[in-house]
Amino acid sequence: MKRSWHTVPLDRLLTQLGVDPVHGLTNEEAARRLEQVGPNRLATEQPTGPWTILRRQLTDLMMAVLGTAALVSWALGERADAVAILAIMLLNAVLGFFQEFRAERSLEALRALAAPQARVIRQGRLLRLPATQLVPGDRVQVEAGDRIPADLRLLEAWGLEVDESLLTGESVPVAKRADWLGRGEEEVADRPNLLYMGTLVTRGRAEAVVVATGSQTEMGEIAALIRRAGPESTPLQERAQELGRVLVAVSLGLVTLVTAVGIARGLSAYEMFLTGVSLAVAVIPEGLPAAVTVALALGVQRMIRRNCIVRRLPAVETLGTITTICSDKTGTLTRNEMTVTRVELADGSLEVTGIGYEAPGQVLDRGRPVQLSSRPGLERLLQVAVLCNRARLPAAGLEAQAPRGEGPGGLEVWGDPTEIALLVLSGKAGRPPEVWRAQAEERAEFPFDSDRKRMSVVVDLGGERLVLCKGAPESVLAQADRVEQRGGPVPLSATGRRRWLAKAETMSGAALRVLALAYKRLPMGVLPNQEGAETGLILLGLVGMYDPPREEVRAELERARRAGIRTLMVTGDHPRTAEAVARELGILQPGEEAVLGRMLDGLDEAELRRLVRERSVFARVAPRHKVQLVKALQKCGARVAMTGDGVNDAAAIKEADVGIAMGRCGVEVTREAASVVLTDDRFDTILAAVEEGRGLFQNVRTFMRYLLGCNAGEVLVMLGATLLGLPLPLTPLQILWMNLVTDGLPAIALGMEPPSPGLMERPPRPPGEGVLGGGLGRQLLGRATAIGLSALAAFLWMLTAGHDLTVARTTAFTALVTAQLVYVFSARSERLDPLERPLGSNRWLVAAVALSGLAQLGALSLPFLQGALETVPLPPDGWLVVAVAAGWPALWDLARHAWEVGRGEVEKGRAVRIGAPKRI
């Protein structure tokens, strides 16, 4: 049966599938079939399970090193040491498991949020459901921009073309028809009545029935070719791994030196072996790549809470380097709630009141409501507006679980905002759209495309057969030879055509989107082709609609400028409309004009670069122009974020450093091309994502500054004591305990830091800047030296004060732990006074430090820990030494910051901006 779907007559196939061709399946039948055939998804790699994560933790390199040390200790009779090492191994494994398990669950939630949707008719109602819930027999609708959700057999098709290159390798879109029937020998690429899962609708629309889902589809047979090979690695993760390898080499060298010098001085080889192993475990940053992954996953979760879904992990980091945002106008900078405000007829102008989908309003002629019975031209125009239209309002019987748009009051709507505005216009004129639709019977449709810039339908209405057409004024006027007057159609002269075009230009200059509407009568029984239908039209008039800017956008654009980010408007709208909106938002500078897309054709590379540096608004751009702009900006050194919602945006979104798709009104192909999807389609959400990207990089640097500074301090203590011929200040188990207490919970909590104040007041960081760039390496080495020398000084002080070695070691041990727990608060910011970041902004960090402090107190007071760690309760002078050793580096930070404030290097609460944002 599977190979012959294209050969079975449609009525027989519907009978075999057991489906009502009009009302679709019932909910109960769909549920039964879903249980029988399973979810509509291809076989993919299973998410990493808990046992796999735990096994990875137990087979880690450092766990192997510790395990070896435990075995050696046990073999030499040091059973207590061996048990203590095993206990620390277990604690480390549990901590690592928690980190990785949380990251995996975060990414699983992300995949679920990004699941594709499908439009399906069940029990006679149109629903929007996750594509995974489709079953054989479901009746679905697809249109330009959609990705086919399953293998489908066409019921009806209107101008349908599909890109099947993913499946067949054929780059040219394939025309599809419902009336074709195969003989059986046709290959996949030669079956025009079938649509295949994963392919893209490039033109037209269709209704179809599901014939196969999941692994039973054609795509299911080659799923291995499109399955992801593995998780993506971000540049940040790669740099962390590279840094880790360098630090491993340096650390092993220092550890080897400490061990060799100790043995040369006559210290126990066994003791130095355990010391070397412990230092290696404490110093080698084997957890850095995992820590970066956790930070990325947490960043993804924060972005989800801020209405931003990240589909590709590298985008989280790249967002922090963005210098230019190429934003579509409609829906991002504006509300995407088109409202007709003006109607131009041959016998005068009409005003339409009310803004938005739900706002009440009227059609007024010189301040008085219009009566349709006295204005037949307006009545015919409304017929075109409603019947040459694919949008739906709630009154039309649509149920949408994930509507394409919502009015301010939550009104669910379906379709293009321009077409929704036309339906609302009809209602304001006193004729609800369903009235026209109940009276008309559609015979043919010629869908809108970007070449013709118009759409037409052939309908039977009131005993007449009519062609109804709407589109761009220049396109419709080119096909019109008459214009509707009060007494009937009159010839449209060249002068009259120019006058109508001038009216359209004036309306566009007032930030209105303008459509021309026309019609013509046909003899009953005649059904023309597209070319025949769209010639000899009768112009009815112009409709001007307004999409007001979002209230918050102007302030957000200013915020972007302060953050060193340019915003360019890139739109397919009329240049006058684009200029009016851009001027209102402050994007367009005085004296600047919009650049037309066709002006980019023929420019050489140098001219194009100059243009993108100097201009901010690009109108009437085609998909190729958007790609040109992105490439030109990148060659100028910009990091580009491109936003969009339509099929024509997909190529540029794919080309940009970060592609951002609209989740509410965007089409599936655009969302799949994007690395980031906005669930609220708002410009301020883009800036929130940029802030999270910057905050992520900041948190990784914070984590490394803390972790590496502390670990280096531990090595310096041991190295200094060994070179000075002193007894070892720390035992091996004390080193391992310190690694657990200070590098565990506090380090994780640092990765949960919220973005620091002033983060969006600074220019973007250079894209190639390393995680230790910008002086961070000097900072951590300076703090490592301070921590190491302080602990060594505390050790020496206690020895010279007459205390025994155990007390001196306990003092050095406690001083090191306390200094690191104090340092965690200084490490929170590279630029701010530690006291300027309120502790309440990261309660996880406060809790982590408190738990680590309690654990350290337990190490000094609980008998079983005292025995394992060789510690004793500290005398009063020991606590005083600890306070001085741990506190003076923090006091130094405060003094240094105050000095920098005095010199003007930093302001209170944020870094001083050096110069203005560079304009590329």
Which positions are annotated as active-site residues? Answer: 328
Looking at this protein, which amino acid is placed at residue 781? L
Contact 652, 326 (CB under 8 A): yes
State the Cα–Cα distance between residues 449 and 443, nearest whole angstrom: 19
Q: Which is nearest to 139 in space by CA: 158, 119, 110, 159?
A: 119
State the Cα–Cα distance between residues 280 and 299, nearest whole angstrom: 30
**Buried (b) or exposed (e) across 33-58, using 16+ Cβ within 10 A?**
bbeebeebbbeeeeebeeeebbebbe
CA distances from 488 to 347, 543, 866 (A): 11, 20, 103
- Give me the residue label for tokens 């910009």: 638
Q: Which is nearest to 511 in space by CA: 569, 580, 560?
A: 580
Contact 812, 730 (CB under 8 A): yes
The CA-to-CA distance between both ends of the chain, in Å, stands at: 60
**Buried (b) or exposed (e) across 793-817, using 16+ Cβ within 10 A?**
bbbbbbbeeebeeebbbbbbbbbbb
**How many degrees, rounded to 5, is the angle at CA 859 between CA 854 and CA 863?**
125
Q: What is the 3-state secondary structure (H, E, C) of 424-469?
A: HHHHHCCCCHHHHHHHEEEEEEECCCCCCCEEEEEEEECCEEEEEE
Q: In angstroms, how far apart are the furthest CA atoms of the chain?
A: 116
SS3 content of the chain, % helix, strand, coil (to 5): 50, 20, 30
Contact 641, 594 (CB under 8 A): no
Q: Which pairs from 10-19 meet CB under 8 Å and 24+ separation?
A: 10/153, 10/155, 10/178, 13/153, 13/209, 13/211, 14/209, 17/136, 17/137, 17/209, 17/211, 18/137, 19/137, 19/138, 19/139, 19/209
**For residue 784, how far is the Cα from the chain centroid?**
38
State the Cα–Cα distance between residues 131 and 149, nearest whole angstrom: 6
Strands 640-644 and 658-662 turn out to be parallel
Q: Is 779 exposed, middle or buried (0-12, 13-18, 19+ CB in 10 A)?
A: middle
In this structure, the number of other CB atoms found within 10 A of the CB of residue 11 comes to: 9
CA distances from 664 to 231, 356, 649 (A): 27, 17, 15
CA distances from 210 to 31, 154, 160, 393 (A): 15, 9, 17, 26
